[in-house]
Amino acid sequence: MRQIKVLGPGCPKCKTTYKNALEAVEQSGLPAEVTKVEDIEEMMKYNVLTTPVLVVDEDIKIKGRVASVSEIANYLR
């Protein structure tokens, strides 16, 4: 099962990225778990300064901008 994390403090861009991740998983039909990480200490472990951040299987894919549904779906394939 793929692991997707959206790192962000709860800003509108972070919420949109999280929503897009859920939509991408639903559209792809692939097994994946989507988690929203809002804890600052947990986010700091990834050494990123700008949010939102999209992490797929512990690999940072996108940071500092909203990831589209199609982009996220491509990372799941």
| pTM: predicted TM-score of the whole model, two decimal places | 0.94
* 59 sits in which H/E element: strand 59-63
Catalytic residues: 11, 14
Q: Is the pLDDT of residue 77 over 90?
A: no
Mean pLDDT, range 3-16, rounded to an integer: 96
- The domains found in the chain, sorted by start residue, are 2-76 (3.40.30.10)
- Tell me: the pLDDT tens digits for 52-70? 999 999 999 999 999 999 9
Handedness of CA 52, 32, 23, 19 (dihedral sign): negative
